[in-house]
Chain A
């Protein structure tokens, strides 16, 4: 089958690409758009390494064809950086808490965490564990990830209270 031209809004920029209809969204992001921060782990929707936000919702980009994302907005880990290229508070908290080891699941974890905090600025530990339970990490045992999300929420709370 011939390639299909699609336009996606990726990290705030419209991108027009030609892709085979069977190409997954994650392969399009990585191999066509060269946004290699999003990773491939299991390709059957369990591990969450390929998580990106589609119109603000976390999804598995291995379970979706690129052509299905036509006209949608996608945020990848590269899009979590601030406009000036500096780290977001969530990314900074992941660093401060050493919420990773090998770093392979980290982009997906950040996407899941960002989605949680967008919906629920003050999640409980149980809510955090629920929100990241679709993202597998084999290095950390999750604890420092939970702490990084808690730190981000606390920093935002304190930042807000300080005006």
Chain B
């Protein structure tokens, strides 16, 4: 548990230690996840994956599968491809067609070729094995760097190249800045194909409601524009799609996209006339589902003066998005939001290259591409320190944006809203007892162990703003990332709030009830928060981009303040005074200076709902208010220099881990982990702390263990938890988290985002620690994950 920072306003509920609203149902075994949704008459789907990374489908014989008792239907790509539109891509790629089942050609090992509908998943799997597919296997395109060559096998022949996007932006006087200083470092950093891998796989249930002609969808989903994409693919209007947002999502961290699954089962449910469910098994998920994250090669040059002050950087990022891009290439766009990290860099050149390959498609992952970029930039900071022999903390101190410089605009146009980066870094150094850590490191080294202390500073942009998509695809001229809430007070005085999306662990019910309770001075425990379905819901863009505290939170404040204002109007009218004479405190509306003249909360609710004769003339009956919240500070298109403010709010962290490496096996043990963190006003400190530590755990996984490895032919080598290693309680150390609070000037209570920060900084911090441990051997590894075998091989080479 964390004490609230000392400089907090006198909040009743916000930033106070309070139990969450959601946890009670989970500890009782009463969560309602998609696999718990039971629709009468529901049938079950199993899919048949392609064993080939790239092959022509010559023929499919489904007769044996259809003959199996309990089997209702076998669907192939030809039928589904005819009946539905191509799924959505973020880039403008008219010749890259994407359907839930392969049409004519398979493009990765694991791509679904057919789907069986049966009485049980067991029978459906039996039947899938009876489908006879004849393939013509073809050589695959696997090595992402070779995609720029013309002689590679084409993943999408109609597109004509495996390059999906390639563009260079120059923000500021890059050439002049490079000419103005004498020092440069150039380096390569690689981010391995890892992901967040929730413990719940993706699942979806669809039912065609014949009575109302509505498609009902229950899904384990976390995606913007889900219902839009379902409607578009199925060629039905959006008001025929009802997504039920009251399904608990068993973890997502960005990846639960599920559009191909949803279109598949929705088509089947509509065609067959009974509800259909598809719950991925783990292999479905890891080989053919929405599982894989960014897979990037960075080539970076930094230009800096003799004091280590960085003037400019040139970044080239090559990202392998796999066979079907979806929104994945845009993950090269979001990092533009904080492209130079928390540092005062004057100019940036950025080349973004997105290539397709015969691998499972990439999906959005926590931070939407920011974590790999942060790792790559931090690697450069370490390089600058090493080049000039300056202390690694000191080089950061010299480059961080200073407290008195906010709002600070970086070359691509983002305006960092607020912060005290130096104080947070100092706090991390102090809390970690940096000198003592170095002494412990040296003591371990003296005993013949390898040990290292790491450091990373990083920003967490929060709030979302689609406008970076415009830089990649001008057809996506979207300048908002809206979120909404509806608050109602009923005749008995109790408060309900309706939010409009699913939740996958972020605690939105706690967020909304805490802020509404704070604004209305009502106990959050008595406020019910509902998840409106997509037909009831107000505009929403889903809980991505560390945005719900910022956008939903601010919407909640606004709606609650409007409720309070309406109640004041009713009180003033009933008490016969001007509105500005009414004071509200502790559930009572009284006349200033005459405390005996007052109305209670419940009485005003009664008037509003039932006593027209006591209402102000022309005033709306009932007590309800909604707020539709735009991203603060956003809304414009890029200017002629391609500068545009992206995400609005910037949280900051400094990470300090101590690691030890077994010199014989290369195995890394993270002993200690310290993080100083500033996300403005924390609405619920326990939730923020959990997000930070959980994010660090994800980052440790990405740094040391996790990779969707492929062989040279394009076969996935990590389709189970035996091959794709997830850190357990053994691998994740105790984390000491120190919270700072620099309120954002852009949000209702000064809150910023906190869902991604731990993950955005930890990979860089762990790499820093491992490389510090390897420094005595003159080894530097800038490719994640740094696995035991990588370290062992590097040591073996050096010591032979």
Chain A positions within 8 Å of B, measured between CB atoms, are: 20, 22-23, 30, 34-44, 46-47, 49, 76-78, 80-81, 87, 91-92, 94-98, 100-107, 110, 125, 128-130, 132-147
Task: Name which residue of chain B comes closest to A86, CB basis.
Answer: B28
A4 to chain B minimum Cβ distance, whole angstroms, is: 15
Q: B27, B29, B122, B729: which contacts A76 (Cβ < 8 A)?
A: B29
Q: Are B27 and A144 in contact (CB under 8 A)?
A: no
Q: Say if the beta carbon of B694 comes within 8 Å of chain A.
A: yes
- List 17 additional contacts besides A138-B697, A144-B686; criterion CB under 8 Å: A39-B199, A42-B199, A76-B29, A78-B28, A100-B26, A100-B27, A100-B505, A104-B33, A106-B31, A125-B734, A137-B199, A137-B694, A138-B196, A138-B197, A138-B694, A141-B695, A147-B1
Q: Say if the beta carbon of B613 comes within 8 Å of chain A.
A: no
Q: Say if the beta carbon of B653 comes within 8 Å of chain A.
A: no
Q: Are A46 and B694 in contact (CB under 8 A)?
A: no
Q: Are B694 and A139 in contact (CB under 8 A)?
A: yes
Which residues of A have CB within 8 Å of B252? 102
Whether A144 contacts B721 in the complex (CB less than 8 A), given A35-B29, A103-B505, A107-B29, comes out as no
> 6 A-B residue contacts at CB 8 Å?
A36-B29, A41-B199, A78-B29, A103-B23, A104-B198, A144-B686
Which residues of A have CB within 8 Å of B122? 20, 22-23
List the 8 closest pairs (A to B, CB-CB), nearest first. A37-B29, A103-B26, A104-B250, A101-B505, A102-B505, A141-B697, A77-B29, A46-B721
Q: A107, A141, A147: which contacts B694 (Cβ < 8 A)?
A: A141
Chain B positions within 8 Å of A, measured between CB atoms, are: 1, 19-20, 22-31, 33, 35-36, 38, 122, 196-201, 248-253, 279, 281-282, 504-507, 686-687, 689-691, 693-698, 720-722, 726, 728-730, 732, 734-735, 758
Q: Are A47 and B35 in contact (CB under 8 A)?
A: no
- Bound CA span A132–B28, Å: 19
Q: Are B28 and A146 in contact (CB under 8 A)?
A: no
Task: Name which residue of chain A comes closest to B22, CB basis.
Answer: A103
Which residues of A have CB within 8 Å of B20? 95, 98
- Bound CA span A36–B249, Å: 14
Q: Are A97 and B1 in contact (CB under 8 A)?
A: yes
Q: B19, B30, B279: which contacts A95 (Cβ < 8 A)?
A: B19
Which residues of B have CB within 8 Å of A106? 26-27, 31
Task: Name which residue of chain B comes closest to A146, CB basis.
Answer: B729
Which residues of A have CB within 8 Å of B28? 37, 77-78, 81, 87, 91
Which residues of A have CB within 8 Å of B196? 138
Task: Name which residue of chain B comes closest to A108, CB basis.
Answer: B199
Q: What's the count of A-B pairs with C-beta under 8 Å?
A: 185
B536 to chain A minimum Cβ distance, whole angstroms, is: 24
- Bound CA span A42–B734, Å: 26
Q: Are A138 and B687 in contact (CB under 8 A)?
A: no
Q: Are B732 and A141 in contact (CB under 8 A)?
A: yes
Which residues of A have CB within 8 Å of B1? 97, 147
Q: A97, A130, A132, A142: which contacts B697 (Cβ < 8 A)?
A: A142
Task: Name which residue of chain A comes closest to B689, CB basis.
Answer: A144
Q: Are B23 and A94 in contact (CB under 8 A)?
A: yes
Q: Are B36 and A36 in contact (CB under 8 A)?
A: yes
- Bound CA span A27–B556, Å: 41
Q: Are B27 and A101 in contact (CB under 8 A)?
A: no
Q: Are B694 and A36 in contact (CB under 8 A)?
A: no
- Bound CA span A90–B20, Å: 16
Q: Are B198 and A97 in contact (CB under 8 A)?
A: no
Q: Are A143 and B721 in contact (CB under 8 A)?
A: no
Task: Name which residue of chain A comes closest to B758, CB basis.
Answer: A141
Which residues of B have CB within 8 Å of A107? 26, 29
B535 to chain A minimum Cβ distance, whole angstroms, is: 25
- Bound CA span A46–B20, Å: 29
- Bound CA span A145–B686, Å: 12
- Bound CA span A86–B282, Å: 34
Task: Name which residue of chain A comes closest to B736, CB basis.
Answer: A143
A61 to chain B minimum Cβ distance, whole angstroms, is: 13
Task: Name which residue of chain B comes closest to A144, CB basis.
Answer: B690
- Bound CA span A97–B686, Å: 7
- Bound CA span A141–B735, Å: 9
Q: Are A40 and B29 in contact (CB under 8 A)?
A: no
Among B25, B199, B686, B690, chain A packs the most CB atoms within 10 A around the CB of B199
Task: Name which residue of chain B comes closest to A104, CB basis.
Answer: B250
Which residues of B have CB within 8 Å of A36? 29, 33, 35-36
Q: Are B250 and A39 in contact (CB under 8 A)?
A: yes
- Bound CA span A129–B237, Å: 51
Q: A30, A42, A77: which contacts B720 (Cβ < 8 A)?
A: A42
Which residues of B have CB within 8 Å of A78? 28-29
Q: B248, B721, B722, B728: which contacts A103 (Cβ < 8 A)?
A: B248
Q: Are A136 and B726 in contact (CB under 8 A)?
A: yes
Q: Are A101 and B720 in contact (CB under 8 A)?
A: no
- Bound CA span A125–B730, Å: 11
Which residues of A have CB within 8 Å of B253? 138
Whether A138 contacts B728 in the complex (CB less than 8 A), given A22-B122, A100-B27, comes out as no
- Bound CA span A77–B26, Å: 10
Which residues of B have CB within 8 Å of A146? 729, 734
Task: Name which residue of chain B comes closest to A41, CB basis.
Answer: B199
B223 to chain A minimum Cβ distance, whole angstroms, is: 16
Q: Are A101 and B694 in contact (CB under 8 A)?
A: yes
- Bound CA span A144–B691, Å: 11
A55 to chain B minimum Cβ distance, whole angstroms, is: 20
Q: Are B250 and A103 in contact (CB under 8 A)?
A: yes
- Bound CA span A105–B721, Å: 15
- Bound CA span A94–B28, Å: 11
Whether A142 contacts B729 in the complex (CB less than 8 A), given A42-B721, A44-B721, A102-B504, comes out as yes
Which residues of B have CB within 8 Å of A49? 199-200
Which residues of A have CB within 8 Å of B22? 103
Which residues of A have CB within 8 Å of B690? 98, 101, 139-141, 144
- Bound CA span A10–B698, Å: 36
B514 to chain A minimum Cβ distance, whole angstroms, is: 13
Q: Are B693 and A144 in contact (CB under 8 A)?
A: yes
Q: A34, A44, A102, A133: which contacts B251 (Cβ < 8 A)?
A: A102
B342 to chain A minimum Cβ distance, whole angstroms, is: 23
Task: Name which residue of chain A comes closest to B199, CB basis.
Answer: A41
Q: A80, A130, A143: which contacts B693 (Cβ < 8 A)?
A: A143
- Bound CA span A92–B26, Å: 11
A35 to chain B minimum Cβ distance, whole angstroms, is: 7
Q: A47, A98, A129, A144: which contacts B199 (Cβ < 8 A)?
A: A47
Whether A98 contacts B687 in the complex (CB less than 8 A), given A125-B734, A136-B726, A140-B697, comes out as yes
B762 to chain A minimum Cβ distance, whole angstroms, is: 10
Which residues of B have CB within 8 Å of A103? 22-23, 25-27, 31, 248, 250, 505
B196 to chain A minimum Cβ distance, whole angstroms, is: 7
Whether A104 contacts B730 in the complex (CB less than 8 A), given A40-B35, A139-B690, comes out as no
Which residues of B have CB within 8 Å of A92? 27
Among A35, A37, A98, A145, chain B packs the most CB atoms within 10 A around the CB of A98
Q: Are A44 and B199 in contact (CB under 8 A)?
A: no
- Bound CA span A63–B734, Å: 31
Task: Name which residue of chain A comes closest to B726, CB basis.
Answer: A136
Which residues of B have CB within 8 Å of A132? 728-729
Which residues of B have CB within 8 Å of A47? 199, 721, 726
Which residues of A have CB within 8 Å of B30? 37
- Bound CA span A39–B248, Å: 13
A24 to chain B minimum Cβ distance, whole angstroms, is: 10
- Bound CA span A80–B694, Å: 26
